[in-house]
Amino acid sequence: GQQVMQIPQYQHVQEGEDFTTYCNSSTTLSNIQWYKQRPGGHPVFLIQLVKSGEVKKQKRLTFQFGEAKKNSSLHITATQTTDVGTYFCAGKRQAGTALIFGKGTTLSVSS
Amino acid sequence: SAVISQKPSRDICQRGTSLTIQCQVDSQVTMMFWYRQQPGQSLTLIATANQGSEATYESGFVIDKFPISRPNLTFSTLTVSNMSPEDSSIYLCSVILGLAGNEQFFGPGTRLTVL
């Protein structure tokens, strides 16, 4: 079945450093979504990427979708302590179906 | 967006018993799903809850263990049957709005501990 791999599993940075998490699918994705989960919370939607090669920005966060629609990345510039949590990528086999989640990257930030 | 509530929010159960988790959405939704998130792990899709018909289960999950009901477009239940400690997990209900919808919304989850 479809698998979504995500690396690294954990990342610790100093406040102000950049952070990147990478996501790779074994099959072409209809779209990819990114979620953030704070400790004790549920996943919260960040963004969706649909088009091949798409790049979207949200303040310090930059999301990319690969040309082959099989990989994606999330880059955070100048991390802050509020960025801590687990970031999940999740892909869809096709629109209207359930998301398949990567294992997530847990980010910790020290000030 | 959609507001999703789940009951119970948490429970501690004895092995061999069953627990039914309820998911209520504040609007009619086309797609409802149940996920499991084991401690420190990612979300794993259990099944798609189909309105008026049997749920569609993912590999590794069976109806006898996780019976699901979806009597209408705003409500679903997931039962965890004959529980063992390995079933200790957070169970999340998730929905998609609209036929071509992509963004998924998640309920707050039900934290289950099996002793």
| Sheet architecture: strand order including A71-76 | A4-7, A19-25, A71-76, A61-65, A55-58
CB A110 within 8 A of CB A17: no
Per CB-CB distance under 8 Å, the chain A contacts of B100 are 95-96
When mean pLDDT is compared across B14-23, B70-79, B100-109, the lowest value belongs to B100-109
pLDDT 10s digits, B88-99:
999 999 998 766
pLDDT of residue B61: 96
Nearest to A98 among B33, B59, B108 (CB): B33
What is the number of other CB atoms lying within 10 angstroms of the CB of residue A31?
20
Per CB-CB distance under 8 Å, the chain B contacts of A21 are none
pLDDT 10s digits, B9-61:
999 999 999 999 999 999 988 889 999 999 888 999 999 998 888 999 999 99
Tokens at residue A61, please?
Answer: 């966060």
Helical (H) or strand (E) element with A24: strand A19-25
**Distance between CA atoms of residues B87 and B38, nearest Å:** 8
**Distance between CA atoms of residues A3 and A105, nearest Å:** 16
pLDDT of residue B39: 86
Cis peptide before A43 (omega within 30 of 0): no
Q: Per-residue confidence of chain A (111 residues) as pLDDT tens digits?
A: 568 999 999 999 999 999 999 999 989 998 999 999 998 888 888 999 999 999 999 999 999 999 999 999 999 999 999 999 999 999 987 777 788 899 999 999 999
Q: Is A74 helix (H, G, I), strand (E, B) or coil?
A: strand
CB B80 within 8 A of CB B18: yes
Q: Which of A5, A35, A20 is nearest to A77 (CA)?
A: A20
Interface of A with B (CB under 8 A): 1, 31, 33, 42-45, 48, 50, 88, 90, 92, 95-104
